[in-house]
Amino acid sequence: MLCGRMTHSPAPKSLGIASWNVNGLRAAANKGFLQWLAATPAEIVGVQEVRAPLEALPDELRAPEGWHTSFVAAQRKGYSGVGLYARLPPAELQSSLQQRAFDAEARVLMARWGRLRVVNGYFPNGNGKERDNSRVPFKLRFYKHLFQLLQPAFERGEPIVVLGDFNTAHAEIDLARPKQNAKTSGFLSNERAELGRWLEAGWVDTFRHLHPGPGHYSWWSQRMGARERNVGWRIDYVLASPGAARFLLDARIEHEVMGSDHCPVSVTLDRRVLDPG
């Protein structure tokens, strides 16, 4: 029998966080979601548009080995919903925005690990049932309400990351065909201005901070080979408060990952973002 000194792997120096609008979690599972989850270096993963209550998710999606999970489902069947997968259990977890209309659509999960607050959000689309932009006022109220809810922690300098499907392309560089979409929800001037208000207030668009060039998109129409031709929109973001942005190491759009009409977006932070201030 051989005996030897036990060795330990060094503690990781970085923290990976990823976001993915899966366009139906059960559908994404049939297209490789769990394989992607097992392979991702991210330790915190937010998913949007889950479209299923917890009891409808199979065990391998609801509680995969090695992950702590949380889900919130919309009152309307097959609609909206967000979830969090994390290698470590969060110290805090909250799903209410303290407004019934928003909570009914299950659009937010807010969690804390150490000092770091992570907000996983599925921001509303401005299109109504007739694709008539009738939901734009609701969408803008959601943006403003979440902004105000986070403002006290933001002003205290706390590290905060807001990730998810923002359903808005901020600038012309963020979609392939800006002129043709000037009157389309997702690129309306008032929607862009509301997202711009976050950035002007000091929130950092992590991907654009590191990658200023064109041609980077996170959503593509499923019609006419848009993804193959890279005719897309960048509507999935990871925004960081100044308290989190100073720990930013990398930001990626994982355009090679299939399984949804969106692809994952991710950031890597210095792990000291978790430490007490």
Q: What does the DSSP assignment read for the chain?
A: --------PPPPSEEEEEEEE-SSHHHHHTTTHHHHHHH---SEEEEE---S-GGGS-HHHHS-TT-EEEEE--SSTTS--EEEEESS--SEEE---S-HHHHTTT-EEEEEETTEEEEEEEPPPS--TTSSSTTHHHHHHHHHHHHHHHHHHHHTT--EEEEEE-----SGGGBS-TGGGTTSTTS-HHHHHHHHHHHHTT-EEHHHHH--SS---SEE-SSTTTTTTT-EE--EEEEE-HHHHTTEEEEEE-TT--SSSB--EEEEEEGGGGS--
- Whether 275 is a known active-site residue: answer no
Catalytic-labelled residue, pool 59, 132, 165, 174 = 165
11, 65, 75 from 8: Cα distances, Å: 9, 22, 47
CA dist 111 and 179 (Å) reads 38
190, 204, 216, 242 from 195: Cα distances, Å: 9, 11, 18, 16
Residue 137 exposed, middle or buried by CB count within 10 Å (0-12, 13-18, 19+) = exposed
Q: Which residues are catalytic?
A: 165
